[in-house]
Amino acid sequence: MKATLQLETTVSINHLAQMIRKQLPAKDRLALAGMLQQDDDDEPTKEQILSQLKDDLIALKNGNLKTRPASEFLAELRNEGFL
């Protein structure tokens, strides 16, 4: 027999790490660490964001930046749950 149970609880990061160390085999812990690291790699650094903004500003001033209507941009933000 197989059952699914959904629980919601609040734990500290330290407590969560302790539970993972005790309950997951080393192989699974390494796989989890890799997955978590991948998520961090998807986020641009502050330097990358500032560099891109600078490049976009230069392109905008030179008339080379392709833009889209603000309404389209805002709709995308709404669809993604940011607004």
Domain assignment present for 23: no
pTM of the entire predicted model: 0.38
In total, how many domains does the chain have? 1
Domain assignment present for 57: yes
Who contacts 60 (Cβ-Cβ below 8 Å, separation ≥6)? 67
Tokens of 48: 């990358």
Q: What angle do CA 54, 83, 59 make, to 5 degrees?
A: 20
Domain assignment present for 74: yes
Residue 58 · residue 49 · CB < 8 Å: no
Domain range enclosing 71:
46-79
Domain assignment present for 28: no
Domain assignment present for 63: yes
pLDDT tens, per residue, the chain with 83 residues: 677 777 788 889 899 899 999 998 999 998 888 888 775 556 778 888 899 999 989 998 998 888 888 899 899 889 888 88
Domain assignment present for 14: no
What separation in angstroms does the CA of 15 have from each of 22, 33, 42? 11, 16, 26
Domain assignment present for 29: no
